Amino acid sequence: MILIDMNTTHDYVWIVVANNIPVEAYEDQVEARQMTLKWSEESKNHIACYRVPIIPQFSKYLKSFQGS
């Protein structure tokens, strides 16, 4: 499971994907790209990085679900 701080000021996150499975999320593009390159060098898996928007309605749902 990928956990994202719901107090983020960004309207998107960077998701690192290995073999079409999301494995990590980052708020910082540079950090996400560095991890993508590192994983690509160390693994034979297909590694990619995608910018994904945070959906405000989903964020509100998560906050209410967590009791915030």
- pLDDT for position 66: 47
For residue 2, being part of any structural domain is answered with no
For residue 33, being part of any structural domain is answered with yes
pTM strictly above 0.85: no
User: Per residue of the chain (68 residues), what is the pLDDT tens digit?
Assistant: 455 666 666 788 899 999 888 888 888 889 999 999 998 888 888 899 999 887 765 555 555 544 44
Closest C-alpha among 22, 6, 18, 1 to residue 54: 6
For residue 28, being part of any structural domain is answered with yes
- pLDDT for position 59: 53
C-alpha distances (whole Å) from 24 to each of 5, 34, 37, 52 are 13, 12, 13, 12
- pLDDT for position 54: 78
Domain that holds residue 40: 12-65
Q: How many domains does the chain have?
A: 1
For residue 55, being part of any structural domain is answered with yes
